[in-house]
Homo-oligomer: A and B are copies of this chain.
């Protein structure tokens, strides 16, 4: 497999084709991972073409054993670099030579049925801007994974972050701290006084070889490690919490937290808002929304309650275990 050792790119295959094959492979892996974790549910698959070029495969597992709704989406799309895209895609003004873009990526959101198991999100993507002759004039890597508990179990945040710290540490000693902070700064419901969507994880974007002083292979190898992190980062949490008893109170808390998840995704999430504004395939863009969510007027978290304990968990902190 590519990227596993920073090996030179095969000169006969474009980086874009190689990245697409990588994403396809990881997509199949996470599909199998979530089906195995669910223990009974099966993904239904939708293949779709994008009018402007490219397409994708959306797989959704609905009404599973563990998961109320889980979606894994992959896409590889290209198109003309419109002024709107040129302004926003690259995290800075687009290279003046760029006339088109290519992006391939995978996006995962899994909403468990039980409130005792957290929701998890992951995505990775490889982006290129291309000149008039099809030459790559800019390229970068982005992605991340984050955890959204709907019941306060701090050990789960410890576990998730400790695994991510170790995954990041195998690629760069500064990555975990930097990308954990980026995640805390990104998944924020600013309109809720800065309340976080969950307990975070890692988030990164616009990682370019020149800026990072690393070859693209190394950046892709890092993204690949993130794409493969859920069996270690998430599965143990799901397994140890899936059979915990719960009742109406825990379900209410889950539905309210999912309401905040909807608010973040529709109001703040860059990818979602961008998809809504640019006519992306809407069912794939909104695949991330929870199967059910609730809103109450001004709910109160009584001191000492599970609601208050969850509020407290949403305040960013150093979740990872002390370095060994």
**Is A263 among interface residues, defined by CB-CB distance under 8 A?**
yes
Q: Which chain A residues in 229-269 approach chain B with CB under 8 Å?
A: 255, 259, 262-263, 266-267
Q: Which residue of chain B has its CB nearest to the CB of A289? A: B295
Q: Which residue of chain B has its CB nearest to the CB of A263? A: B266
Is the pair B69, A297 in contact by a Cβ cutoff of 8 Å? yes
Is the pair A262, B255 in contact by a Cβ cutoff of 8 Å? no
Complex Cα spacing A276 to B60, Å: 31
| Contacting residues, chain B, for A25 (C-beta < 8 A) | none
Query: Nearest-CB distance from A153 to chain B (Å)?
Result: 25
| Contacting residues, chain B, for A295 (C-beta < 8 A) | 69, 286, 289-293
Complex Cα spacing A277 to B295, Å: 20
Is the pair B297, A71 in contact by a Cβ cutoff of 8 Å? yes
Q: Which residue of chain B has its CB nearest to the CB of A193? A: B282
**Is A314 among interface residues, defined by CB-CB distance under 8 A?**
no
Is the pair B294, A292 in contact by a Cβ cutoff of 8 Å? yes
Residue among A262, A276, A291, A297 with max Cβ neighbours from chain B (10 Å): A297
| Contacting residues, chain B, for A69 (C-beta < 8 A) | 295-297
